[in-house]
Copies of this chain bind each other. A is one copy, B any other.
Amino acid sequence: MKISGTSLDLSVTDYGITLDPTFTMLEFDGLRVLPVQTDPLIPGHAPPSVAVPVPQQSSMNLCAICADRATGKHYGASSCDGCKGFFRRSVRKNHAYTCRFSRQCVVDKDKRNQCRYCRLRKCFRAGMRKEAVQNERDRISCRREGQAVGTLTIDVLMQAEAFTQNPSQNLMMRDINSKKIACVGDVCESMKQQLLLLVEWAKRIPEFCELSVDDRVALLRAHSAEHLILGVARRSLPYNDIILLGNDFIIPFRGTEQEMSKVAARILEELVRPLKELNITDTEFVCLKTIVFFAPDCPGLQCAQAVRRLRFQAQVLLDESTSEQRGRFGELLLLLTTLQSVAWQMVEQLQLMRLLGKANVDSLLMEMLLGEEATRGPEALPASESNPEPLIFSTATESVLSRGILTEHIPMHNFTSVILPVPSSGLSEDPLLPTHTGPEVFTHGQAADMPTVHTCL
């Protein structure tokens, strides 16, 4: 049902439209097709999963640059004809625009022509690649598939977050004065709760569940300390000079045990304060958390490439969520180095307190925070030699974490409990496990009263 009518251009044909004779484009002016960027990682990775049906009408039909109606994929991004033409012209003529403002112009259907710099930039950010613009007349056979960024979505992340959050704290922030100051035991208890929640959070992410058991365990172990710090920092955002734990205890800026106060001060100063200044949104937070979570460098990862892709997706999601404010994305990402540093210090502090007998560190904390040599006495000091990198563990030997990683989702009954219920008995055997020939094999039988990563999964 097209307008088959060939262009018998009757209408106003000849009203002397003096067609501009100098209309020639300065073809090839400075055209330089980039030196074949060996398309780095981040390839398409067609969704191999089972159910990824709905391609989202909204996102597929809308131009990723200006939100006008899209006419298909062009140069790697779903876009309208206008942005398609604009991108081609810009690349062909090797245009270098400049923004008259502060390079954070809004680019939508109405305003897309107001700043070419910001429009072109958004084209690139939306996934357009200049390599996809072909040379003038000829056509290159390359039918490269544009990268479908991935399957990770903000929605899924936000839901996972909602499922694993303590609603009572969210709804009413009761008077701070009524809360008790945490002792070391309270802190450890809170950490344990939060780690269990982290496991539950991860299980809500389909892409995580598709990984192998070993990889899931490795990811959960790798950066758990950072998740604890990140979570506590976010929870403390509404308050001043106070850290609010997940179990409703608080750590004041000053006035706790000496050991805690150092870390607490850094959390407040180096994390809570910048996050307050940035006024981080929920969306941004879950993206950050996901970026931390899918750490491709953590040792023992079989499928590091898949994890890298997932982090890439999360990173791009964050970028897209923050595009309004110049420099915001970078500031948020740079907080991750601070987060890593603080988490490190916390782990060292915890390690020390355990060795000094000041803290009772149970097996889950041992496994996820201090390394896997849990259930041992504090005989071996993990000095520089034995554990040069506290946050990243050498291999994914099975242990507490290994058990239960295959467990089904446990519905959180009305969110009333902060602690996750211990996985229902049943399937305790995991035939897949002993892939690794870890030097030490432990057997943890006390899953009921001593949750571990494996039992939680």
Residues of A at the B interface (CB closer than 8 Å) are 1-3, 5, 7-12, 15-18, 37-38, 40-42, 45-46, 48-49, 51-52, 54-55, 57, 60-61, 69-73, 78, 96-100, 102-103, 110-111, 113-117, 121, 124-127, 129-130, 134-139, 142, 144-147, 149, 262, 270, 277-279, 291, 297, 311-312, 315-316, 318-320, 323-327, 329-331, 333-334, 336-338, 340-341, 344-345, 348-349, 351-352, 381, 383-385, 388-389, 391-392
Contact = CB atoms under 8 A, between A and B. Distances in A.
A318 B330 contact: yes
A125 B322 CA distance: 10
A174 to B, nearest CB: 25
Given A312-B327, A337-B337, A341-B391, A2 B2 contact: yes
A9 B45 contact: yes
Nearest to A387: B348
B116 A135 contact: no
Contacts of A116: 138
A110 B340 CA distance: 44
B391 A142 contact: no
Contacts of A38: 277, 279
7 contacts: A9-B46, A10-B46, A15-B70, A99-B146, A103-B146, A114-B137, A383-B383
Given A115-B138, A316-B330, A345 B55 contact: no
Contact of A345 (B327, B330, B334, B388): B388
Nearest to A381: B383
Given A38-B279, A110-B135, A323-B124, A100 B144 contact: yes
A349 B115 contact: no
Contact of A124 (B49, B279, B326): B326
Given A9-B46, A78-B15, A385-B352, A315 B344 contact: no
Given A40-B277, A48-B3, A340-B341, A12 B9 contact: no
